[in-house]
Structure 1
Protein backbone atom coordinates (compact mmCIF):
# COMPACT_ATOMS: atom_id res chain seq x y z
CA UNK A 1 0.00 0.00 0.00
CA UNK A 2 2.81 2.40 -0.76
CA UNK A 3 1.70 4.97 -3.34
CA UNK A 4 4.01 5.09 -6.31
CA UNK A 5 4.03 5.16 -10.08
CA UNK A 6 4.65 2.12 -12.25
CA UNK A 7 7.10 2.93 -15.01
CA UNK A 8 6.78 0.57 -17.95
CA UNK A 9 7.66 0.94 -21.63
CA UNK A 10 4.49 2.95 -22.31
CA UNK A 11 5.21 5.39 -19.48
CA UNK A 12 8.83 5.79 -20.58
CA UNK A 13 7.89 6.42 -24.21
CA UNK A 14 4.99 8.81 -23.55
CA UNK A 15 6.71 10.80 -20.81
CA UNK A 16 9.71 11.25 -23.13
CA UNK A 17 7.45 12.27 -26.04
CA UNK A 18 5.78 14.84 -23.79
CA UNK A 19 9.21 16.14 -22.70
CA UNK A 20 8.45 15.40 -19.05
CA UNK A 21 11.70 13.44 -18.85
CA UNK A 22 14.69 12.65 -21.02
CA UNK A 23 15.68 9.56 -19.06
CA UNK A 24 15.18 5.92 -19.99
CA UNK A 25 15.85 4.80 -16.40
CA UNK A 26 12.55 3.75 -14.76
CA UNK A 27 13.64 4.74 -11.25
CA UNK A 28 14.78 8.21 -12.35
CA UNK A 29 11.57 8.71 -14.30
CA UNK A 30 9.48 7.65 -11.32
CA UNK A 31 11.24 10.17 -9.08
CA UNK A 32 10.86 12.96 -11.65
CA UNK A 33 7.15 12.27 -12.20
CA UNK A 34 6.46 12.00 -8.48
CA UNK A 35 7.89 15.51 -8.14
CA UNK A 36 5.73 16.84 -11.00
CA UNK A 37 2.38 15.22 -10.20
CA UNK A 38 0.36 15.36 -7.00
CA UNK A 39 0.47 12.12 -5.03
CA UNK A 40 -3.30 11.65 -5.26
CA UNK A 41 -2.97 11.22 -9.07
CA UNK A 42 -0.07 8.76 -9.19
CA UNK A 43 -2.01 5.50 -9.43
CA UNK A 44 -4.71 6.72 -11.82
CA UNK A 45 -2.22 8.59 -14.00
CA UNK A 46 -0.13 5.44 -14.31
CA UNK A 47 -3.14 3.40 -15.48
CA UNK A 48 -4.35 6.11 -17.87
CA UNK A 49 -0.95 6.56 -19.53
CA UNK A 50 -0.39 2.81 -19.89
CA UNK A 51 -3.86 2.41 -21.43
CA UNK A 52 -3.19 5.39 -23.71
CA UNK A 53 0.09 3.82 -24.83
CA UNK A 54 -1.63 0.55 -25.66
CA UNK A 55 -4.58 2.07 -27.51
CA UNK A 56 -3.50 5.39 -29.06
CA UNK A 57 0.18 6.27 -28.67
CA UNK A 58 1.39 2.97 -30.06
CA UNK A 59 5.18 2.80 -30.43
CA UNK A 60 5.43 1.98 -34.15
CA UNK A 61 2.20 3.62 -35.29
CA UNK A 62 1.02 6.43 -33.01
CA UNK A 63 -2.45 7.71 -33.80
CA UNK A 64 -1.80 11.42 -33.22
CA UNK A 65 -5.05 12.36 -34.96
CA UNK A 66 -6.97 10.51 -32.21
CA UNK A 67 -4.77 11.62 -29.32
CA UNK A 68 -6.21 13.88 -26.62
CA UNK A 69 -2.66 14.94 -25.74
CA UNK A 70 -1.57 15.98 -29.24
CA UNK A 71 -1.84 19.70 -28.40
CA UNK A 72 0.65 19.17 -25.56
CA UNK A 73 2.94 16.76 -27.37
CA UNK A 74 5.99 18.17 -29.18
CA UNK A 75 6.24 14.87 -31.08
CA UNK A 76 2.65 14.85 -32.37
CA UNK A 77 2.39 14.28 -36.09
CA UNK A 78 6.19 13.94 -36.44
CA UNK A 79 6.07 10.17 -36.88
Structure 2
Protein backbone atom coordinates (compact mmCIF):
# COMPACT_ATOMS: atom_id res chain seq x y z
CA UNK A 1 0.00 0.00 0.00
CA UNK A 2 1.30 3.44 -0.88
CA UNK A 3 1.71 6.12 1.71
CA UNK A 4 -1.39 8.11 0.71
CA UNK A 5 -3.78 5.31 -0.15
CA UNK A 6 -6.52 4.54 2.32
CA UNK A 7 -7.87 1.01 2.79
CA UNK A 8 -11.40 0.57 1.54
CA UNK A 9 -11.27 3.69 -0.60
CA UNK A 10 -12.47 2.98 -4.11
CA UNK A 11 -10.64 4.57 -6.97
CA UNK A 12 -12.85 6.30 -9.54
CA UNK A 13 -13.38 4.46 -12.78
CA UNK A 14 -11.54 5.81 -15.79
CA UNK A 15 -13.57 8.54 -17.42
CA UNK A 16 -15.48 9.47 -14.26
CA UNK A 17 -13.62 12.72 -13.86
CA UNK A 18 -11.00 14.61 -15.82
CA UNK A 19 -7.42 14.41 -14.70
CA UNK A 20 -5.51 17.47 -13.56
CA UNK A 21 -3.53 17.35 -16.80
CA UNK A 22 -6.75 17.45 -18.84
CA UNK A 23 -8.00 20.41 -16.81
CA UNK A 24 -4.75 22.32 -17.31
CA UNK A 25 -4.65 21.53 -21.05
CA UNK A 26 -8.23 22.75 -21.50
CA UNK A 27 -7.50 25.90 -19.48
CA UNK A 28 -4.36 26.62 -21.52
CA UNK A 29 -6.29 26.18 -24.76
CA UNK A 30 -9.06 28.49 -23.52
CA UNK A 31 -6.48 31.16 -22.58
CA UNK A 32 -4.79 30.85 -25.99
CA UNK A 33 -8.15 31.35 -27.68
CA UNK A 34 -8.89 34.34 -25.45
CA UNK A 35 -5.52 35.91 -26.26
CA UNK A 36 -6.04 35.34 -30.00
CA UNK A 37 -9.33 37.25 -29.78
CA UNK A 38 -7.54 40.12 -28.06
CA UNK A 39 -4.88 40.20 -30.77
CA UNK A 40 -7.67 40.56 -33.34
CA UNK A 41 -9.14 43.45 -31.32
CA UNK A 42 -5.74 45.17 -31.14
CA UNK A 43 -5.28 44.82 -34.90
CA UNK A 44 -8.74 46.33 -35.38
CA UNK A 45 -7.70 49.34 -33.26
CA UNK A 46 -10.19 48.84 -30.43
CA UNK A 47 -7.76 49.87 -27.67
CA UNK A 48 -6.38 53.38 -27.12
CA UNK A 49 -3.13 52.31 -25.45
CA UNK A 50 -1.35 49.35 -23.89
CA UNK A 51 -2.85 50.05 -20.45
CA UNK A 52 -6.43 49.69 -21.67
CA UNK A 53 -5.50 46.54 -23.60
CA UNK A 54 -3.71 44.96 -20.64
CA UNK A 55 -6.49 45.83 -18.19
CA UNK A 56 -9.15 44.31 -20.43
CA UNK A 57 -7.03 41.21 -21.09
CA UNK A 58 -6.32 40.71 -17.39
CA UNK A 59 -10.00 41.05 -16.47
CA UNK A 60 -11.10 38.61 -19.18
CA UNK A 61 -8.37 36.15 -18.18
CA UNK A 62 -9.44 36.20 -14.52
CA UNK A 63 -13.08 35.69 -15.52
CA UNK A 64 -12.10 32.73 -17.67
CA UNK A 65 -10.01 31.19 -14.91
CA UNK A 66 -12.78 31.74 -12.36
CA UNK A 67 -15.29 30.07 -14.70
CA UNK A 68 -12.96 27.09 -15.24
CA UNK A 69 -12.38 26.71 -11.50
CA UNK A 70 -16.10 26.87 -10.68
CA UNK A 71 -16.64 23.99 -13.10
CA UNK A 72 -13.92 21.97 -11.39
CA UNK A 73 -15.33 22.21 -7.85
CA UNK A 74 -18.17 20.09 -6.56
CA UNK A 75 -19.53 20.41 -3.05
CA UNK A 76 -16.48 22.38 -2.01
CA UNK A 77 -14.03 19.72 -3.22
CA UNK A 78 -11.67 20.07 -6.14
CA UNK A 79 -12.87 17.88 -9.00
CA UNK A 80 -9.87 18.07 -11.35
CA UNK A 81 -7.85 15.12 -10.17
CA UNK A 82 -7.08 16.33 -6.66
CA UNK A 83 -6.87 13.85 -3.81
CA UNK A 84 -8.05 16.37 -1.22
| TM-score normalized by the length of structure 2 | 0.30
Greater relative contact order structure (CA < 8 Å, 6+ sep) = 2
* Larger strand share, 1 or 2: 2
Which structure has more helix as a fraction of its residues? 2
Please say which structure displays the higher CA radius of gyration.
2
TM-score, reference length from structure 1: 0.31
